[in-house]
Amino acid sequence: MGADKSFGKSMQYKSKNWAWMHGNDKLTSSEWRERLTQLREAGFDAILLQGAFENVIPVAQEVGIEVHAWLVSLLRNGDKQVQKEHPEWFMISRNGNSTLDKPPHVGYYKWLCPSREAVHNYMLDKVDELLTYDGLAGIHLDYIRYPDVILPISLQPKYDIVQDKEYPQYDFCYCDVCGSKFKEKYGVDPLEMKNPSQSEAWKQYRYDQVTTLVNKISIKVHEHNRMLTAAVFPTPNIARTIVRQNWPDWDLDAVLPMMYNNFYHKDVKWIGKATRECRHELPQTTPLYSGLFVPSLSAIQVAQAYEHAMENGAGGICLFTDDAMSEEHWENIRRVIMRG
C-alpha cells in the first residue's frame, strides 16, 4: 500500500497526547530523562505509569510531563494475599467455575467481582495507596470490566477458540452475591433463566456494577483534586457487548478507548470511525484520547491514525507503548503533532 500523499499537509491540531508506560526501577534518572524528553519533544504531555513513581515523578516534573498511576483494577492475578484470604471474591462463570481456579482464555485471567462491597473497599484502598504519591496528576483505571465474553475476532484463533455467541464458560459473574442482588431487584436468579445472555436486565445489572465502582473511585480521586481516567474498549457498543463496560456513564475526567484496529480486522481509517462513535455517546465536556496499538502500525500509519482520530473529535492519542516506537515512528508522529 502506497503512502498517503496528503499526509502531513493538513491543519495543525491542538492536542494532548499520552503514552502507557511500564515502570522500571532499574532505569537511572538520566535514562528516564532521555525517555521522557523524547516523548515531550514529539508533542506528548502525559504518561500512564505502572510503578517506579518515586523515580519517575521528579524527572517528569522537570521535563514537563504529567504522571498518572496506571492501576490494573479487577484483574488481580498477582495478588496472592487476596487469592488466599478471599477466594469468594473472584468471579464465577455460568457453568460454575471460579476465575481463581479455572481462569478463562489465559492463566492470569483471575477477576474480582464488582458486585461485592468488600471488593469496592479493597479497590478504594488501592487507590488510596496511589494517592499518597506527591506530584501524581491522576489515577488511570485499566481492566475495569468483566472478562471477555467474546474475544476480539482476530484474537480468537490465537487462543484456538470460537466465540460466535455467549458461551457459559466465558460468561460472568454468577456468584451468590450477583444472584441474590439481581433476584432481589428483578425476582429471578440469573441461573434460573432459560437464556440469561438474552436478558437486557441482566446485562444492565452488570454494566451498573462496574459503573458504581468507577463512580465511587471518582469521588475519592476528586476529593484529592486528581484526575480520573480509564482505558476502555474501543467503542461503547463493542465495550458493552464483549466486556460489560458501559463507560459513557462513568464519571471520568477523560477516557482512553483502546482503538486497536488490528484486533478487529480493521484498517487504520477505522480509528476515525471508532472515535466518531465514541464522541456520539460521550458528554461533549469529556475529553477522549484514542489509544493506538503501536506494534500493529507502521511509521506512516501511526501518524495517519493521529490524523484520523483528530479529524473525528479526539483530543489527542495515547501510545501503547512508547518503547514500541522506532525512530521512524517518532519522526512521523512528531511531524503531524508539531507540524515542523
User: Would you write out the chain's pLDDT as a tens digit for each of its 340 residues?
Assistant: 334 444 444 567 899 999 999 998 899 999 999 999 999 999 999 999 999 999 999 999 999 999 999 999 999 999 999 999 999 999 999 999 999 999 999 999 999 999 999 999 999 999 999 999 999 999 999 999 999 999 998 898 988 888 889 999 999 999 999 999 999 999 999 999 999 999 999 999 999 999 999 999 999 999 999 999 999 999 999 999 999 999 999 999 999 999 999 999 999 999 999 999 999 999 999 999 999 999 999 999 999 999 999 999 999 999 999 999 999 999 999 999 997 4
Report pLDDT for 11. 62
What number of residues does the chain have?
Answer: 340
Domain 18-338: assigned CATH number:
3.20.20.80
Q: Are 80 and 151 in contact (CB under 8 A)?
A: no
Only one residue has cell 473529535, namely 313
Only one residue has cell 514529539, namely 42
Report pLDDT for 117. 98
pTM over 0.75: yes
Only one residue has cell 465514541, namely 278
Q: Are 292 and 323 in contact (CB under 8 A)?
A: no
Q: Is 1 exposed, middle or buried (0-12, 13-18, 19+ CB in 10 A)?
A: exposed
Task: Give the residue among 79, 253, 238 at the shortest CA–CA distance from 148.
Answer: 238
Rg over alpha carbons for the chain, rounded to the nearest Å, is 20
Report pLDDT for 9. 47
Buried b (16+ CB within 10 A) or exposed e, 325-336: beeebbebbbbb
Measured CA to CA, the distance from residue 85 to residue 39 in angstroms comes to 42
Q: Are 15 and 317 in contact (CB under 8 A)?
A: yes
Report pLDDT for 208. 98
The one-letter amino acid code at 340 reads G
Report pLDDT for 48. 98
Strand order in the sheet with 289-293: 254-257, 227-232, 138-142, 66-72, 46-50, 18-22, 316-320, 289-293
Measured CA to CA, the distance from residue 226 to residue 130 in angstroms comes to 11
Q: Are 169 and 151 in contact (CB under 8 A)?
A: no
Helix (H, G, I), strand (E, B) or coil at 293: strand
Buried b (16+ CB within 10 A) or exposed e, 217-252: bbebbeeeebbbbbbbbbbbebbbebbbbbbbbbeb
